[in-house]
Structure 1
Amino acid sequence: MRRLATFLFLAASALLPVRAQYDFGQLGGDGGKEGSSATLVSEVKSIAPGKPFTVALQLKHPEEWHSYYVNSGGVEKAPELKWTLPDGFTAGLIQWPTPEVKDGFFGKSFVFGGSPVFLVDITPPSTLKAGDHAKLELAAGWQICKEMCKDEKATLNLDLTVADAPVTDASKAEFFQKVRKTHPRASTAWSYISVNKGDTFEVRLTPGAGAAGDLDKAGLEFVPAVPFVQALSDGGSLKHEGSSWVLVLKRKTKDALENDIPVGRTISGILSAKTPLDTTTGSPAIVLTDVGMITKVGSMVVEYSSVVVMENGQPGATDSSGKSVATSQDLPFPKLLFVLGSMAVGGLILNLMPCVFPVIGLKIMGFVQQAGEDRRKVVVHGLAFTAGVLISFWVLSGVLFAARAAAFAKTGSAESVGWGYQLQDPRVVLGLLLLMFVLALNMFGVFEIGASATSIGGSLQAKQGTMGAFFSGVLATLVATPCSAPFLGVAIGTAIGLPAVQFFLCFTAMGIGLAFPYLLLSCVPSLIRFLPRPGAWMESFKQAMSFLLFATAGYLLWVYVGQISLENMLGPVFGLSSIALGAWIYGRWHLPHRTARTRMTAVVLALVFVLGGVWLSKPPAKSALVWEHWSDARVQELLKQGTPVYVDFTAQWCATCQVNKKRAYTPEVIKLMNSRGVVTLKADKTNPDPAIETKLRELNRSAIPVNVLYVPGKEPVITPELLSPGYLTDLIGKEVPAK
């Protein structure tokens, strides 16, 4: 009988769009003549390379009509968003508003009436250039219901300009502020676990700092995002146990078509109340994302000493003591064995990656040199190398594990934390870049580092010591971080989502895979006889390896420039040149046959150039100036509004322009320009632009740099070619009136 009722409901729903098209009279009210409107709104009017921004889809439903939550409660369809984005752009998941719980045809329904707003975060690539345009297209589909249901759709577009920094749309600020205030948020004020008891689920909520007090009077409701759980108001209950509150939620076993609903591994949903649940945010609703479940057998629950359990990069369950509980997220042994094997094989293949191979090449040369030596010493060297690899892997994975927990504690999500996440920090990338570059210079023969000085990378002039082997393992691990190998992509993604014990086992397996060939050569010295004998070829091999290290340094430079923006690339390029010059001076004049004075002078000069190079290469300070894309129409528009405008006619190939940027725009100058309301525009002549050429001719200029200050009611002021902070301070202070 229920199947028949469902069929009739679906058939009638399907007829409604037909009736709307052909107007078959009054079937099920006036729904067919009404429709929703859809609007796509961006929080920013200009985006920046690599900087996420938020867009909102707002639906306005006809009176008494409603759309549905991701879990509708029945057979109705939730909104679906299909994005067509430029290359390199990615769209995040839908951020759902809190739905209303209503009695529907199949039980409780979770609906949005009025004007629901759905937020989505968009991340552009870091390769965008200021002045570009990005067109975003959204094909949205949703279903609205009253007495009957009908499907609706809309295709919406956004055309956004690209600037050096994001520019918030002030006219939309109040709208987004209001939306976020009413949307559910992740909360660190509560910790929670869930227990599968068969016909019910218990979600235990333990309050922390900022948690609301008495939930009995809060008018609590839980809206499940998963189909196998019923709402709190649908036969559930709330009880107080000790310092915790326990939601008892009924299980939903059959869908509308009487098919079995399987139980998932986690519970998700929205916990809402009439009063704020988190006093630090004032939010009346919090999101419970992927709450891991345990199956309670009697009174026994197995616990692991870890911080937080993850499911597909999302937080799992922690108890009130901060320990993670064993959940179904623990991999069964056969699957764990497969992941461990994949990590070990991936670590083994890392030896062939261009990032690692140069260091490995030197280690093999070390084995060649050790041929015929005491077997015990060879084994000790191999073990030291393996220890360097494993300890480095443990340190990196430990930092990763702690960062994952910290990210979840701070934002309620740890999606941004993954293997190699430390490379998101430009300081780390710069450190690796400089290390690879200096080692490449050393291997090429520009200078020599004695084994007694650092023991890193080895020296062809002396046998490596135990510490040298250890640090070779450390270095191999460091340079392996930017690389990936077959099997590692999926395996690392799985490992990052595991509890502590399995998490560290997986990364240990990866380290063992990386170190295995050298451990094998150490423990079975007879294999060394298959390696070529020492000879002059080793110097050529060492120099050949330097080119791979130069390539690795080039790759890291590319990553680094993507983080600091292309217009700041000149600093690292000059910095590396300065470091190379310092290394050359050291290698040329710090030699045993030189006088002590010459050697000391070489050391001092080398240090000056190396330290100067590091200073030139360091990440630039974040500029408070926002450079908009120049157009003459934009200048005239701003002047009509009474806004002063500063235009920089520049190009990346213009060396003087780059000097001005480094020298003239000090924090004091920027503060003065901002306080006087000066809008800065950049006319980029890196590529030919007829509009810029025309404007320069109007200004009686044929070469750049050209910087012009426009003040409403005054003649434009063209600055000298070389700028100084003092000149700009005097110019702005004199020409632009204070607000």
Structure 2
Amino acid sequence: MSFWHNNWSYIMAKYIQSLALLRNCLFVGLLLTLLIDSEKASAQFQELKSEKVTPVTFTADIFQSGGSPLKKFIALTFQNEKKWHTYWKNPGDAGIPLSFEFFSNEEKIDLKALEWPYPKRFIEKGDMLAYGYDDRYTFFFPLNDDTIKKLKGKNLTIKSKWLVCKDICIPGQDVFKGRFDNNLNLTKNSKKVSISQGALNEAFLGLPKKIPFPKNLVLNLHKKKNSNELYLAYYFKQKAGGSSSLEVPRNNNILTPFPQSPFDFHKEEVISKDQATQIKMKVQWDGEYMEPPVDFPKNSVFEKPYLLRFLYHNAKGPVGIVEKSFSGFLPSSEDLKPEKKVALNKSSEKTEKNITSPYASAKSKKTQDLTNVVKPKKENLLLTFFFALLGGFILNFMPCVFPVISLKLFSLLKQKEMSQLSIMKHNAVYSFGILFSFLVLSFIVLILKSSGEQVGWGFHLQSPSFLSIMILFLFVLSLNLFGLYEIRTPGGKVIGNIDIDNSYRSDFISGVLATILSTPCSAPFLEVALTFAFTSSFPVTLLIFLSVGLGLSLPFLFVGIFPSMLKLLPKPGTWMEHFKKFLGLSLLLTSLWLFDVFQTIVTGPMSSTILILTLILTFFAFYSLKHMKLNKIGNLILILIPFLSVLYLVGIQLNNSKDINSSSTAVQKTANHPSNWEVWAPEKMNYYKKEGKAVFVDFTAKWCFTCIVNEKLVLQTKEFAKLMKDRSIKPLIADWTKRDPIIGNWLKEQGVFGLPAYFIQTSEGKLIHLGETISIKEIKNHL
């Protein structure tokens, strides 16, 4: 005890000295660590500043692809030092994509690259996601004839900028200089990177190609609960008798999104729940940072559809670019019933090396999955022709063609005194005008189908240029019937004295006009024939169209063969002068209807204002020609002003046609429908299908007369509203007044090529096509 008492002070002093020594050692060790790290970073930075070591270098070559015709490209090949990476178009959470500028003798030229090479996925410090390139990679810029002329015998300068990262990130840039001779051979001023033509060809073949969207991939855009945060949710449905697993590439996402404002995409996250695997990707809405700002949609529907593009990777299947258009988003998917989904496995290096590239297959066939659609049985060809003939005949009694048919009947009244041969000739020419118009329509359908465009019954009324010409033409005819001027009109008469002129030209024009105005209407039996026409070969399409035309002209052919039928018409008299005014009013109302369609299709008030001004100038021109005595030059000026005005209007519409065609009208609710109707979208149908709720869908358009009639007689009635409420059916409206790829493609998948179109999706998910005419009783029977 005395030992501890006498030596306690000594022991404590030694202990304190030991702690101080340990503290000093730890401090020195920490200081050395920091010095080493800072020395490494400093050395790395100094290495980058020195001209001896550059983490990124690039060169340019001329590359010529195989095939016919031969195409030439400027190929930019980049080489990164080991473990350094640059960034793709969508750099990820941080980073800056590579950029390129081209100059020919200091004159800047605009070259657009083909699809960039496949990027890799990098996880940087701080768990930051990045998409980019390491090692060697090549970009290809196609050269057209005009660009080649600018480059021959000229100096070529290429400036490229990038952000390159390893342990630190630094911005970089380099300049390539060379010269082309007159044969487009490129002489380089320096050779920092070398690559063979064989390696360039391999890189060219390896560029991403567009592939069909995978049939078993389900991809939806959702909104998070109580938040404006969006996320993509996707999974793979298990095929019957197929494999229950899908291998995920080791260094890539399954879906790598291309940049698309106003969306900011984040990392893929694999979520497993109740033996079901789903992948989610957070999507941030950046619309408020755009100029002008784009507000977050409050009604789950975007102002216009967004086409999202992805690099699709499947370690056991094809890789390539897939696309899907989104017109809106769905509620949170957390409460949806789980489906049987494919399990996701990580791929091995061996499997990933065997990925099938999209360019390995020469062709891909487009298929349509219509197994869940209840449709009429496929008719034989003769019965289809009969339906086309009968549908064309019924078109004579539809409101679309009433003004023109009335004009033709008006002319028939004056043909009573003609010989049977003259009556037959006039009606035959009228019928030839109809058949010729349908012949032209069939060739237009062939051209559009060959170019991949959407086609359908009445599709020409989605063109503002065509509408503006038709409005002006009908307006001029109405002025003629009101007696403002005298010309030969369809039917072969002179307005003012009702004299008949044997003008076959006027009969032909009347037939053409009847065809044009008949296409917005549908008729019983016509839809079956048109569906067969739009999905068949060109000879069948041509015969069906001619059958419809023959049906439309059938009443007048009968009159030509049996002229005694004219005795059923009233005798000519003074009443015909009043009937002229009525016909003029009907044409004027038709012009107003088409003008309403025109206003819906065009963007902004300028086109409508120009069209109104053109109509006013046209009226003034004809009024002046009748009531003012001017010389030939004055009359010519009066005629040229409205003519040039309509040409200017058509030019504006042709210039704006790309914007019009890319916009969506599915997101607009027509004023004719009550507020309880929701805007249609494919995602909404899928959502209600999973919720087990029935849906009624109305595909309509302002140019569709039959649609308007059905709305008045059925869809806007109290009985229909009560049926929707009692059966808890969700009514959806899709307006196809404008050309809309989402609506057009969906209808095409269901085998529908004209309006109106009505569908019921039952609570079990079965899709039923109701046809072009509907009734409350029919809807109840299907429910």
Indicate the TM-score class for this superposition, using the shorter chain for normalisation: 0.3 to 0.5
Please give the TM-score of this superposition, normalised by the length of structure 1: 0.43
Please give the TM-score of this superposition, normalised by the length of structure 2: 0.41
